[in-house]
Amino acid sequence: MSYFDAASAAPLHPVARQGLLAALDEGWADPSRLYREGRRARLLLDAARATAAEAVGCRPDELVFTSSGTRAVHDGVAGAAAGRRRVGRHLIVSSVEHSSVLHSAERHTAAGGSVTEVAVGRTGAVDAGAYARALRADTALACLQSANHEVGTEQPVTEVAEACRAAGVPLLVDAAQSLGWAPVPGPWSLLAASAHKWGGPAGVGLLVVRKGVRFAPQGPADERESGRAAGFENLPAIVAAAASLRAVRAEAAAEAARLRELTERIRARVPELVADVEVVGDPLRRLPGIVTFSCLYVDGETLLHELDRAGFSVSSGSSCTSSTLTPSHVLRAMGVLSEGNVRVSLPPGTPAEDVERFLAALPGVVSGVRERVGAPVGAAPAAPGTDAAAAAGEPGGAPSGPGAGERVVDAVGRRCPIPVIELARVIGQVPVGGTVRVLADDEAARLDIPAWCEMRGQRYLGEEPADRGSAYLVRRVS
Q: Cα–Cα distance between 258 and 256 in angstroms, integer? A: 5
Contact (Cβ atoms closer than 8 angstroms) between residue 32 and residue 235: no
Rounded-to-integer distance, Cα 97 and Cα 146, Å: 10
- 113 backbone φψ class: left, alpha, beta (φ>0; ψ -120 to 50): beta
Judge whether 217 and 79 are in contact, CB under 8 Å: yes
**379 contacts: CB under 8 Å, gap ≥ 6:** 456
Q: Kind of pairing, strands 290-295 and 277-280?
A: antiparallel
In angstroms and rounded to an integer, the radius of gyration of the C-alpha atoms of the chain is 25
In DSSP terms, which residues pair with 5 in a beta bridge? 345
CA separation for the pair 334, 327 (Å, rounded):
11
282, 150 contact by CB (below 8 A): no
Smallest Cα–Cα separation from 441: which of 420, 472, 412? 412
Which neighbouring-strand residues pair with 437? 408, 473
3-class secondary structure, 369: helix
> Can you point out the beta strands (E) in 250-313?
277-280, 290-295, 312-313
Strand locations in 205-348 (E): 205-209, 277-280, 290-295, 312-313, 341-345
Cα–Cα distance, 284 to 384 (Å, whole number): 43
Helix (H, G, I), strand (E, B) or coil at 210: coil
Say which of 58, 143, 295, 320 is annotated catalytic: 320
416 is an active site residue? no
Q: Of 8, 43, 41, 69, nearest to 208 (Cα)?
A: 69
For residues 330 and 97, give the distance between their C-alpha atoms in angstroms, rounded to a whole number: 8
* Residues marked as catalytic: 320
